[in-house]
Amino acid sequence: MLFGYLSAFGSAFFESLVDVARKRSGAEFSKWTAAWGRHAMCAPILLVVAMVIHPHTFPHSGMFWVATAGSAVINLVASVLYMEALQTAPMSLVLPLVTLSPVFLLATSPIINREFPSILGTVGILVTTAGTYALNFDRAKQGWFEPIRLLWKEKGTRSMLIVAMLWSVSAPLDKLAIRHADPFWYSALINIILGFMLLPFVIRAGESKKIMSARGMLLLLPLGISSALATLTQFVAFSRIMVPYAIGIKRTSVLWGVAWGRTIFKEEKIGMRFGAALLMCLGAIFILFAGK
């Protein structure tokens, strides 16, 4: 179990590096190409890992492919919306919103995987909601519901809210697929599938030559490597601990993301956003102890 928690925290760190690489690639490419880059660049790495570690366990279960297909369709939409959010809003503002996915998992995980968080785990998940409200707390003087209304009004934050909802469905499907295979083959195959699903949109965007340029590779390769590490550690965590707990811990990546927003992208209003992200991560600590 301890290894599962360590994997979840490792996934949080690597995911923050993915967000930095996504933000940079999003400034150069369309949202379609930037979303495709994550899956296409990390798929070969993950495939090699799967073939080396479990060369004779290629998944053949029908339930595996049903869960994989469902997750792929959901993540296709989520990947594009995620890039749209990063392209249209400050990273330090939109990233904390992904911590809401464990809240939505309170409803989806019991239905799909029969996983029921404890009372402490539930409290930890709900604390993230308070942190979400704190993101725009300075606007509360215009009305107590103004911080919440702003989240849906702005395009970037609205896109990320939808992503959090979508991930609350895809994450339990990910675990269902892993139960019928293993995390290494699943992480490779889901990224291969998403890469092929996004390829027609990349071709339509007319950015094929830009991808193959030296600058394109310089932007997309770090995205692929960090994505591979984030994906592997996440699915290893799924195989060891409950999905809501793994995702709740993984969302501590928002603290790194807010820090990167300030140091790398020179974003403003970091104090309030860091406080909100810290409150959200406090929920992850509750989740950690809830699983013991």
Report CA 106 to chain centroid distance, whole Å.
Answer: 17
pLDDT tens for residues 73-86?
A: 999 999 999 889 88
Amino acid 70: pLDDT: 95
Tokens, residue 185? 């083959």
Please report the pLDDT score of residue 143 as a whole number: 47
Mean pLDDT (whole number) for 94-110: 72
User: Domain range for residue 67?
Assistant: 2-290
Mean pLDDT of 157-182: 88
Q: What is the pLDDT of residue 289?
A: 65
Mean pLDDT of the chain: 81
pLDDT at 268: 74
Q: How many domains does the chain have?
A: 1
pLDDT tens for 231-266 read 889 888 888 887 767 877 777 787 788 778 888 878
Contact present, 156 and 89 (Cβ < 8 Å)? yes
pLDDT given for residue 150 in this prediction: 61
Stretch 39-54: mean pLDDT: 89
- Residue range 204-229: mean pLDDT, rounded: 87
At 123-165, the pLDDT tens digits run: 877 776 677 666 555 554 554 445 456 667 788 888 988 998 8
- Residue 69 pLDDT > 90, yes or no? yes
Residue 169 near residue 105, CB atoms below 8 Å: no
Burial of 206 (0-12, 13-18, 19+ CB in 10 A): exposed
